[in-house]
């Protein structure tokens, strides 16, 4: 009980977060944050107790990406903060906003070897845009405002606040707490008109232009403007994995099915909120022409020209700048010609690839391959679903087969390639989208990283269909272990029954080994209420269709 007219630091923190639009808090409670989590619930914040800090920090960043405001995770001192660093690093690499609220041992015990004592601000600094300890309860509103602003503005990322036990429990006169302003949404910076003109002139001068749509455009809610731009110009476009859906994957100008050909032959790329990192093969040969020209839009100037110098840089907000580009095209309309060797080259490459994929999708052999399984996952997707996915082959093949028609409907291992993010992402997608069924497609290894979050999903009765595609290992395994022979490093237990994990928590589990069982199981999973897990056994030797280049290294 607090004395009349006083308030605890924990309550101040909860109210400050709520004021700043933090509506979701994920965490694992214990010393010294349990009372804070309770205060958060009292302040009207949805609290989701997770089973590991990694998953909590992954959930917070996905919730931030989906809602457009930073959401938060709270963890105990020492090991709790250390586990959550996984999420800070992933948020930084993905450019997603999140706030981590780390409990800390009491300030007066600093350096004494206190319970779970750790130099947390220093430990997290490398993985955050902003990291600070709170040194007195009345500065909590200020620090929360700073954390929100740093996570949200410019290139989004992670912010950390360190809150010692005595900062949370101390009672202070309620009227002594100064208020902080509520952080407005990020200012939408425009590019200079000359730069917009130069960008459009460059695009018009290209023979083989290609638009690349990154998740930065999804983050800036630029879908309307990007779609308008594609319609006006009729330019072919390619989405990055989480840029999928900004323009529908089913749009006829999508070159997804001819990705390699389009990248290799483009003479100019218009890079929208996407980085020339490993996912886009650095913009370098052999995946691109050595003379490829780059017109680049990004929210931070330092990104312009990374790995390949940009001919034109447009720095600022994706939505605002694409509106500028469209206004220019409104006054001086231009369209890429309907007939060109570029268009027909793309169409031929796409047809060739689609024929191979179609053939693999219609292969009914038992054990099944990825393509056959993913075809039915695709055909049974609930309307307006959000697709979560992680794994190696499971994720890579799934990305090409499962369509995203709307922005921010794909959450995957992302820029950092982190396994274990999926379960937290699925929880975040479900709680921030009440009434929507989420489909989470997991490799058997990927599922294992955060599999105990199935309890979290069942406790909250979240409408998530988890699909585990099981090839007995990391990128593949064996049909059975050989007695007396140590399992090879990537092998996971043949005969495992992952569907029983959800049954242990009262959820619906389905076990699938044949094409006949597949579709009915997926339909039942999606059409029922609450959580479901469909465990699909596939061939331990199933692979992607033959690839010209290694996805991760770019080597042939
Ligand atoms: C945190 C983390 N640990 C390890 C890895 C290495 N890794 C890459 S993919 C993968 C799992 C792939 O296996 P699975 O999820 O079963 O998908 P599959 O390719 O077998 O379909 C692992 C462990 C990683 N990317 N991230
Ligand atoms: Mg596997």
**pLDDT reported for residue 299:** 98
Which of 102, 136, 107, 108 lies closest to 120 in space, CA to CA?
102
**pLDDT reported for residue 420:** 98
**Residue 445 CA: which ligand is closest?**
1
Instruction: Give CA 196 to chain center in angstroms.
Output: 30
3-state secondary structure of 254: strand
Tens-place pLDDT, residues 520-532 = 999 999 999 999 9
Q: Which residues contact 175 (CB under 8 A, 6 or more apart)?
A: 5
> Is residue 446 in contact with ligand 1, taking CB distance under 6 Å?
yes
**pLDDT reported for residue 325:** 98
Pocket probe mutation, ligand 1, options 372, 374, 391, 488, max atoms within 8 Å of Cβ: 391
Index of the ligand 1 atom closest to the CA of residue 391: 15
What's the 391 CA to ligand 1 centre distance in angstroms?
5
**pLDDT reported for residue 408:** 98
Which of 232, 217, 242 lies closest to 316 in space, CA to CA?
217
By CB neighbour count within 10 A (0-12 exposed, 13-18 middle, 19+ buried), where does 216 fall? buried
Peptide bond preceding 32 in cis form (omega within 30 of 0): yes
> pTM of the prediction?
0.98
Tens-place pLDDT, residues 61-72 = 999 999 999 999
> Is residue 414 in contact with ligand 1, taking CB distance under 6 Å?
no
pLDDT of 1 over the 60 cut:
no
Which of 343, 15, 363, 372 lies closest to 174 in space, CA to CA?
15
Residues in the chain: 556
**pLDDT reported for residue 401:** 98
Helices (H) and strands (E) in the chain, counts: 20, 19
> Is residue 391 in contact with ligand 1, taking CB distance under 6 Å?
yes
Tens-place pLDDT, residues 474-505 = 999 999 999 999 999 999 999 999 999 999 99
What's the rounded mean pLDDT across residues 198-209? Answer: 98
**pLDDT reported for residue 4:** 84
**pLDDT reported for residue 544:** 85
Show the tokens assigned to 439. Answer: 């489909």
**pLDDT reported for residue 234:** 98
* Contact present, 295 and 312 (Cβ < 8 Å): yes
The DSSP bridge pattern shows strands 171-173 and 6-8 to be antiparallel
Q: Whole-angstrom Cα distance, residue 548 to residue 546?
A: 7
What's the 447 CA to ligand 1 centre distance in angstroms?
9
What's the 514 CA to ligand 2 centre distance in angstroms?
18
> Is residue 268 in contact with ligand 1, taking CB distance under 6 Å?
no
Index of the ligand 1 atom closest to the CA of residue 394: 21
What's the 153 CA to ligand 1 centre distance in angstroms?
32
- CA dihedral defined by 454, 459, 462, 468, rounded to 10 degrees? 10
Tens-place pLDDT, residues 137-152 = 999 999 999 999 999 9
Burial 406-419 (b: 16+ CB within 10 A, else e): bbbbbbbbbbebbb
Mean pLDDT for all residues in the chain: 97
Comparing 1-15, 24-38, 448-462, the range with the smallest average pLDDT is: 1-15
What's the rounded mean pLDDT across residues 373-382? Answer: 98
What's the 101 CA to ligand 1 centre distance in angstroms?
29
pLDDT of 545 over the 90 cut:
no
What's the 306 CA to ligand 1 centre distance in angstroms?
28
pLDDT of 552 over the 70 cut:
no
Secondary-structure percent of the chain, ordered helix, strand, coil, rounded to 5: 40, 15, 40
Question: Considering only CA atoms, which residue is closest to atom 5 of ligand 1?
Answer: 419
pLDDT of 550 over the 80 cut:
no
What's the rounded mean pLDDT across residues 20-43? Answer: 98
pLDDT of 330 over the 80 cut:
yes
3-state secondary structure of 443: strand
What's the rounded mean pLDDT across residues 211-239? Answer: 98
For residue 47, list its beta bridge partners.
Answer: 25
Cα dihedral sign for 471, 476, 479, 485? negative
Q: Whole-angstrom Cα distance, residue 397 to residue 332?
A: 41
> Is residue 87 in contact with ligand 1, taking CB distance under 6 Å?
no
> Is residue 86 in contact with ligand 1, taking CB distance under 6 Å?
no
What angle do helix axes 9-19 and 34-42 make, rounded to 10 degrees?
50
Which of 95, 108, 98, 45 lies closest to 73 in space, CA to CA?
98
**Residue 390 CA: which ligand is closest?**
1
* Contact present, 244 and 214 (Cβ < 8 Å): no
Index of the ligand 1 atom closest to the CA of residue 492: 16
3-state secondary structure of 293: strand
Pocket probe mutation, ligand 1, options 279, 370, 445, max atoms within 8 Å of Cβ: 445
**Residue 474 CA: which ligand is closest?**
1
The span from the first CA to the last CA of the chain, in angstroms, equals 67
Show the tokens assigned to 269. Answer: 């790329």
By CB neighbour count within 10 A (0-12 exposed, 13-18 middle, 19+ buried), where does 331 fall? exposed
Q: Whole-angstrom Cα distance, residue 476 to residue 444?
A: 10
pLDDT of 169 over the 90 cut:
yes
Index of the ligand 1 atom closest to the CA of residue 444: 16
**pLDDT reported for residue 139:** 97
What's the rounded mean pLDDT across residues 455-460? Answer: 99
What's the 446 CA to ligand 2 centre distance in angstroms?
7
pLDDT of 315 over the 60 cut:
yes
């Amino acid at each position: 009980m607090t004395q009349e007219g006083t308030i605890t630091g924990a309550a101040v923190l909860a109210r400050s977060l709520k004021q700043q639009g933090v509506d979701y808090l994920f965490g694992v409670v214990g010393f010294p944050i349990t009372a804070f989590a309770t205060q958060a619930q009292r302040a009207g914040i949805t609290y989701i107790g997770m089973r590991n800090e990694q998953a909590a920090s992954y959930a917070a960043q996905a919730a931030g990406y989906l809602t457009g405001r930073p959401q938060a995770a709270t963890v105990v001192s020492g090991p709790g903060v250390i586990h959550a660093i996984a999420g800070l690093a992933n948020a930084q690499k993905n450019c997603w906003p999140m706030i981590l609220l780390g409990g800390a041992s009491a300030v007066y015990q600093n350096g004494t070897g206190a319970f779970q004592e750790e130099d947390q601000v220093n430990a997290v600094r490398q993985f955050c845009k902003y990291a600070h300890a709170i040194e007195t309860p009345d500065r909590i509103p200020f620090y929360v405002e700073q954390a929100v602003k740093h996570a949200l503005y410019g290139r989004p990322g992670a912010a950390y606040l360190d809150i010692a036990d005595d900062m949370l429990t101390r009672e202070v006169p309620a009227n002594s707490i100064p208020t902080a302003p509520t952080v407005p949404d990020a200012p939408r910076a425009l590019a200079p008109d000359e730069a917009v003109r130069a960008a459009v002139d460059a695009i018009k001068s290209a023979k083989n232009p290609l638009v690349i749509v990154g998740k930065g455009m999804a983050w800036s809610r630029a879908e309307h403007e990007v779609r308008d731009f594609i319609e006006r110009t009729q330019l072919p476009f390619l989405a990055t994995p989480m840029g999928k859906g900004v323009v529908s994957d089913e749009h006829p100008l999508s070159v997804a099915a001819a990705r390699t050909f389009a990248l290799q032959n483009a003479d100019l790329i218009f890079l929208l909120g996407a980085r020339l990192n490993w996912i886009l093969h650095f913009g370098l040969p052999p995946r691109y022409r050595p003379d490829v020209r780059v017109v680049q839009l990004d929210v931070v100037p330092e990104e312009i020209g990374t790995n390949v110098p940009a001919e034109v840089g447009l720095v600022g907000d994706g939505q605002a700048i694409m509106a500028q580009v469209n206004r220019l095209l409104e006054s001086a309309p231009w369209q890429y010609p309907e007939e060109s060797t570029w268009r027909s080259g793309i169409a031929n490459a796409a047809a060739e690839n689609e024929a191979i994929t179609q053939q693999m999708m219609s292969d009914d052999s038992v054990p099944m391959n990825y393509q056959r399984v993913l075809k039915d996952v695709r055909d049974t997707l609930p309307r307006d679903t959000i697709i979560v996915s992680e794994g190696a082959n499971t994720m890579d093949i799934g990305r090409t087969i499962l369509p995203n028609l709307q922005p921010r409907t794909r959450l995957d291992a992302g820029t950092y390639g982190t396994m274990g993010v999926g379960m937290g992402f699925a929880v975040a997608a479900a709680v921030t989208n009440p009434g929507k069924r989420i489909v989470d497609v997991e490799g058997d290894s990927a599922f294992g990283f955060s599999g105990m979050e199935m309890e979290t999903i069942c406790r909250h009765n979240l409408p998530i269909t988890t699909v585990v595609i099981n090839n007995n290992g990391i990128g593949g395994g064996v049909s059975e272990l050989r007695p007396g022979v140590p399992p090879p490093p990537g092998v996971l237990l043949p005969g495992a029954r992952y569907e029983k994990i959800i049954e242990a928590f009262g959820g619906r589990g389905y076990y699938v080994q044949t094409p006949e069982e597949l579709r009915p199981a997926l339909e039942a999973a999606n059409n029922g209420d609450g959580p479901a897990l469909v465990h699909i056994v596939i061939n331990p030797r199933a692979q992607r269709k033959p690839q010209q280049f290694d996805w991760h290294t770019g080597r042939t």
